[in-house]
């Protein structure tokens, strides 16, 4: 802003360190969550002091300082005019201003992929139960123990027997989680590079298994004590491969980002359908 009292100077906001101290206070607050409560207390104190200082820098009047300007700084250099014209591209033409992904999988394909992956995971889990414990009901009962405390107290021999309540609870947990992850696959897979479906189907279950391993002692202690991590990772990979392939092989649909606003709003939907029929 030009200084009214002196045409050779301008007014700019005065330098201040309060924003830096504010960021330091926020950092200390979150650092204390994993270090020590005292660090969080210090962070709160720094944040409050920095916020007050920053506030006083702006109100009731913003602190400013004068910056001297040379006479040559006010001289504008001549701008050469060009005879070349600018060609304006419409949105969507030659990928101009398009958002990735341009095509996506229908979300219902994620439900199909989740069901197929759930079947593949169940087969691997039952194979583990049959080979390791001689019973296909063992992994089902372990899974149901997460929401049925009565099962968590059973012995290994008792977990080998069929339990109708455990079958219903385990199927509910397994089916719900599989459908949700299947829909997540349908949303995420179009964002991966071309031919990355196999890699994502392998890497994602491994990362998911690591997350479960870190939290399973709290979520399901019974399963955490008796789980075989080799078979567990194998079942997750089976889900990822099958669900990923089911979703990846489905036909993609184009997003509406390249459509004009009047078509996205549905004003000319009838005309667009008639053009597609022709």
Average confidence (pLDDT) per 10 residues, the chain, 278 residues: 59 84 91 86 92 84 76 62 74 62 82 91 90 88 82 82 89 90 84 68 76 73 76 86 85 74 63 52
pLDDT value, residue 119:
92
pLDDT value, residue 27:
92
Any bridge partners for residue 177, and if so which?
A: none
CA of residue 253 relative to chain centroid, distance = 22
Tell me the C-alpha distance between 48 and 44, whole Å: 6
What distances in angstroms separate CA 2 from CA 9, 75, 137, 218, one per listed residue?
A: 7, 15, 81, 63
Residue (of 220, 202, 237, 249) closest to 123 by Cα position: 237
pLDDT value, residue 44:
93
pLDDT value, residue 25:
92
Return the structure tokens found at 203. 């890497």
pLDDT value, residue 96:
60
Tell me the C-alpha distance between 203 and 236, whole Å: 10
Identify the helix (H) or strand (E) that includes residue 65: strand 64-68
Return the structure tokens found at 146. 């997460």
pLDDT value, residue 268:
55
Check: CB of residue 167 under 8 Å from CB of residue 143: no
Helix 18-31, helix 37-58: angle, nearest 10: 160
pLDDT value, residue 42:
92
**pTM, to two decimals:** 0.56
């Amino acid at each position: 802003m030009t200084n009214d009292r002196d045409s050779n100077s301008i007014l700019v906001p005065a330098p201040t360190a309060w924003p830096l101290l504010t960021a330091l206070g926020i950092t200390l607050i979150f650092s204390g969550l994993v270090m020590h409560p005292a660090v969080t207390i210090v962070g709160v104190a720094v944040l409050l002091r920095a916020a007050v200082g920053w506030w006083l820098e702006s109100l009731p009047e913003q602190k400013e300082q004068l910056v001297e300007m040379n006479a040559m700084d006010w001289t504008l250099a001549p701008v050469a005019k060009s005879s070349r014209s600018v060609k304006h591209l419409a949105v969507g033409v030659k990928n101009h201003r398009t958002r990735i992904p341009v095509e996506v999988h229908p979300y219902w394909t994620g439900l199909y992929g989740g069901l197929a992956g759930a079947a593949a995971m169940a087969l691997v889990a039952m194979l583990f139960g049959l080979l390791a414990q001689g019973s296909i009901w063992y992994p089902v009962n372990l899974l149901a123990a997460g929401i049925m405390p009565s099962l968590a107290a059973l012995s290994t021999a008792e977990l080998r027997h069929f339990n109708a309540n455990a079958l219903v609870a385990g199927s509910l947990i397994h089916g719900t989680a599989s459908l949700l992850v299947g829909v997540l696959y349908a949303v995420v897979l179009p964002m991966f590079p071309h031919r990355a479906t196999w890699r994502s189907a392998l890497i994602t279950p491994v990362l998911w298994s690591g997350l479960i391993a870190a939290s399973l002692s709290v979520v399901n202690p019974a399963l955490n004590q008796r789980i075989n991590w080799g078979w567990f990772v194998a079942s997750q990979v089976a889900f990822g491969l099958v669900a990923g392939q089911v979703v990846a092989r489905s036909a993609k649909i184009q997003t509406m980002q390249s459509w004009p606003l009047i078509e996205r709003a549905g004003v000319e939907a009838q005309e667009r359908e008639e053009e597609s029929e022709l």
